[in-house]
Structure 1
Amino acid sequence: MSGNHIRNTGSMLASPRCGAATRNGTACRAPAVQGRPRCRMHGGAWRSGAPMGNQNARKHGVFAQDGIAERRAIRELLGETRKLLAEIKSG
């Protein structure tokens, strides 16, 4: 019985398509959300995306110095540990 049902799909088929690339490299075939270039699954949903002004970004290396110092301290500790182990082994 479902094979004889007439569906009104003309408006959906005529709607603009999402411009995103899928995992296999082809274009997404879902209809885009009204007023947006993407479908609901690729960022067209309401309130999706990064906040205005990119407030979540780590800018100007503010956190980079902390990371560099931490990695330097870890390397020094590892070097001291290796020296201690070598002394224990040889002594």
Structure 2
Amino acid sequence: MTHPRNTGPMRLSPRCGARTRKGTPCQAPAVSGKGRCRMHGGAKGSGAPKGNRNALKHGLHTAEARAMRALVRQLTKRTREILDDL
């Protein structure tokens, strides 16, 4: 196949190793030095963040927070009992 542009290096470059949703291999060229194309994680900054940020705890279910909520419930219940007696 002849083409006016120089497409030889592009056609001979290594292909992305990812699979498409159809199950066929991705036909895009891999990013240099990587095994994936820019759409499948070869681009700089793509992929999951470093570390496991999803594992960070917000503190809602710590022992201290549960104890504080139990204390507030007890105080609220006792306050209602005192107000009902008045």
Is the shorter-chain TM-score for this pair beyond 0.5, marking a shared fold?
A: yes
Which aligned segments of 4 or more residues in structure 1 are displaced greater than 6 angstroms?
Answer: none
2: distance between equivalents of 1:37 and 1:57? Answer: 26
What is the Cα deviation at residue 57 of structure 1?
3.8
Q: Name the CA distance, whole Å, in 1 between partners of 2:30 and 2:6.
A: 18
Deviation at residue 51 of structure 1 after TM alignment:
2.7
State how many pairs are aligned. 59
Name the residue aligned to 1:55: 52
Flag structure 1 segments of 5+ consecutive residues without an equivalent.
67-91
Instruction: Give the C-alpha shift of residue 5 in structure 1.
Output: 5.4
Q: TM-score, normalised by structure 1?
A: 0.54
Q: Percent identity?
A: 59
Letter in 2 for 1:14: L
10, 28, 31: which is aligned to 2:29?
Answer: 31
Structure 2 spans left out of the alignment, 5+ residues = 62-86
* TM-score relative to the length of structure 2: 0.56
What CA distance in whole angstroms lies between the structure 2 residues aligned with 1:5 and 1:45? Answer: 28
